[in-house]
Structure 1
Amino acid sequence: MYAAQFLSGRVALVTGGAGGIGSAVSEALASYGCQVVAADLPTRLGAMDTGGGIEHVALDVTDARDVQQCIEGVVKRHGRLDILVNVAGIVSAGSAQALAEAEWDRVIDINLKGTFLCCQAVIPVMKQQQHGRIINFGSVLGKNGGNPRPWIDPKEQERAGNVAYGVSKAGVHIMTSYLARELAASGVTVNAVAPGPIASAMTTSFPQVLRDLIPVGRMGRAAEVASAVLFLASPESAFITGEVLDVNGGLWSD
């Protein structure tokens, strides 16, 4: 599976490339022959590994003009853009009662609007090519109503409540379905990966009592999420579109 020739020569853009999962996805695609452009905020670019032949670019996914210029730049430099992986996102914790309006807007702006802007910008490129793979990032929290159990321990809600994050990711899930239908006749598939708790800088404060609820008994690894992306990026997934692929250790299934 994932024979190198399947992805060799393809051009991939990975947003959120400086993060743990974004880095893992970029490295996995590059290892199978993709020309990878890893994009992130200018303030985060310094944290990105400069090895592996991965190109790094600055990108603010909430800025439509910046997104358009980034996509145009990739196509100008490499002649095409075959794979878009929308990893860029932020988390937000706390109860719905205490959530500030500005925090709600920030999360929706980055996670949902940012994903849409990147998808929108690659549509004409991929339609012209009559080929493309769009892989969005959802979350188990967009499906399960959140991990905290405030009826057992109200403090769990304050430590790990994620209403804005969950709503943003649920929006990504349904957007994936809509785009999959819109682009199917153009040779473009649109799918999403929905990770559960993944060991990363974003989950260092994830409560142990909630970790214990994961059936496989551990947090996921970024490389395991990257493997799901590799499958959805490959020709082997050509008959799969509009799917939200769970990678959550059994925490949620549907």
Structure 2
Amino acid sequence: MTAASFEGRVALVTGGMGAIGAAVCAALRERGARVVAADGAAGAAIDTVDLQGATPAVRLDVTKRAEIVSLVSRIESTLGPVDLLVNVAGVVSFGAAQTLDEAEWDRVIDINLKGTFLACQAVVPGMKRLGFGRIVNIGSVVGKNSGNARAWIDAAEQQRAGNVAYGVSKAGVHMLTGFFAKELAVDGITVNAVAPGPIATAMTTSFPPQLQALIPVGRMGTAADVAAAILFLAGREAGFITGEVLDVNGGMWCD
């Protein structure tokens, strides 16, 4: 099967310099899209970055509405309307719900959920003017299964697997996806999410081997696995799919 073309498309990928974000950016560029990678960890300031460059990387705090709006405005004035937003920016958190620090809860919810919400809001006006758009958010199996750790078997697993703040933030992303999907369908905009299981990245280096052994396909996922699912939902051919949360978890969770 021939890979879908993204020629003429303008994409913004938050978290674009992490493992999954970088894989998405590379795949989109290979297929002809103009891609801007935005990340809180690195990149040039919004008002100085050369968006005409081959691989523009922008430093962005997704919890700041003004920064996101400024970046989208710059992209629109330089490259054209953003018709594809991929919300990858996120952080993981560990530990038991009963002892989770309030500041850690706020940090995770702000980046994972509020950041996704603000980025979606920022691109909607341009997509509406265009009469077309694709938004793909990153959820998680932990937002569906109340966590991978089995505290009734081994309490120590909770110290090495995503905790309640992470799971709640991702469950919120799933619900947010549905609300935006229903509101924007009439405008030619689809909004979907990909819910990965354990993916082999820097965020999962401590994932317990006992839990890895429970993945039916026999391995952890890769950034390429997630990128492939995102590109499917981001393609023009997926126009009749919206509000979907697509599981990419090797069979860990089926619904």
TM-score range, shorter chain: over 0.9
2:124 corresponding residue in structure 1 = 123
1:69 corresponding residue in structure 2 = 70
Once the 2 structures are TM-superposed, how far is the Cα of residue 219 of structure 1 from its aligned partner? 0.4
Q: Deviations over 1:104-124 (max 9, x none)?
A: 000000000000000001111
Q: Deviations over 1:120-176 (max 9, x none)?
A: 011111011000000000000000010011111111123325100000000000000
Please state whether the residue corresponding to 2:99 is helix, strand or coil.
coil
Please state whether the residue corresponding to 2:29 is helix, strand or coil.
helix
> Which runs of at least 4 in structure 1 moved beyond 4 Å after TM superposition?
none
TM-score between the two structures when normalised by the length of structure 1? 0.94
Aligned CA-pair RMSD = 1.3
The residue type equivalent to 1:59 in the other structure is L
The residue type equivalent to 2:32 in the other structure is G
**Structure 1 stretches of 5 or more lacking a match?**
47-51
The within-5 A match list for 1:212-223 is 212-223=213-224
Counterparts of 1:140 and 1:190, CA distance in 2: 18
2:176 corresponding residue in structure 1 = 175
Confirm or deny: 8 A CA contact 2:109 2:165 kept in the other structure. Answer: yes
Once the 2 structures are TM-superposed, how far is the Cα of residue 2 of structure 1 from its aligned partner? 5.7
Confirm or deny: 8 A CA contact 1:61 1:115 kept in the other structure. Answer: yes
1:13 aligns with 2:18: no
The residue type equivalent to 1:242 in the other structure is G
In structure 2, relative to structure 1, the CA distance for the partners of 1:2 and 1:134 (3 Å cut) is farther
1:186 corresponding residue in structure 2 = 187
Confirm or deny: 8 A CA contact 1:139 1:195 kept in the other structure. Answer: yes
Residues matched between the structures, number: 247
Confirm or deny: 8 A CA contact 2:91 2:111 kept in the other structure. Answer: yes
Q: Deviations over 1:60-100 (max 9, x none)?
A: 10000001001101101112111000000000000011100
Counterparts of 1:205 and 1:157, CA distance in 2: 11
The within-5 A match list for 1:1-254 is 1=1, 3-4=3-4, 6-41=5-40, 43-45=41-43, 53-254=54-255
Please state whether the residue corresponding to 2:207 is helix, strand or coil.
coil
The residue type equivalent to 1:189 in the other structure is T
**Structure 2 stretches of 5 or more lacking a match?**
45-52
Counterparts of 1:89 and 1:3, CA distance in 2: 28
Counterparts of 1:69 and 1:226, CA distance in 2: 26
Counterparts of 2:93 and 2:121, CA distance in 1: 25
Counterparts of 2:223 and 2:151, CA distance in 1: 29
The residue type equivalent to 1:21 in the other structure is I
1:49 corresponding residue in structure 2 = none
Q: Deviations over 1:192-229 (max 9, x none)?
A: 00000000010011110110110001000101100001
